[in-house]
Amino acid sequence: MKRQRLTWNKQASNKEAGSGLYGSTKAIESSVLASVRKIQKRATKIAKNLYKKNPKTAQFLATHSKRSKSASAKVIMEAMANLGPKFASEVKTAGHGMYGYDSKVAALCLAGCTELKQYVGEVSSDLHRRKAAKHANVLAFLKNHKKEAKCGCSSMMLSYYPDASTKFASKTPNTVNDWIKWENWK
């Protein structure tokens, strides 16, 4: 009869159950939270630029976040709130844009939301490129972080995260034949 060490099973289970948040590995936790911080940093930059151009952008974003359930507007509003002054005291004036705001305010805010959405897509794709083999683990962490920490950035990343089947080529194909070969390889 072959002798079996008791520690073999313990070591295998320790690798599966991570020591990071939500039962993930430290590597997944670190990578996802670094991506969240990148998004928060960009949201803060967008918030500063919007408020500097027109203080009424804060009111518009609050309205847009509530009425349209805009995750990007919510994340930018959270960044504005972290900047310091409270924005709720400003009086809404009638205009000709969305929700009765001046068209320029609406255009500024919608452009800021679009910029943040694009950036979240880039950050999510980059994370997927680095952690494609751990796709399910990354999504599980994002879902838990969204729920437990009420993290708007995690919510947006979940919305824009690539499918597990998405592959990234190390070198982009140049010819039509190269593209066909690459597509068939996937």
* Per-residue pLDDT at 89 exceeds 70: no
Hey, what are 182's tokens? Answer: 């690459």
- Region 1-9: mean pLDDT is 57
What is the pTM assigned to this prediction? 0.76
Q: What is the pLDDT of residue 86?
A: 54
- How far apart are the C-alpha atoms of 110 and 64, rounded to whole Å? 9
- Of 23-27, 87-91, 116-120, 150-154, minimum mean pLDDT range: 87-91
Q: What is the pLDDT of residue 85?
A: 59
- How far apart are the C-alpha atoms of 161 and 44, rounded to whole Å? 22
Name which of 134, 111, 126 is nearest 29 in CA terms. Answer: 134
Other beta carbons less than 10 A from residue 171's beta carbon: 7
Q: What is the pLDDT of residue 176?
A: 81
- Region 154-158: mean pLDDT is 95
| DSSP state, residue 90 | S
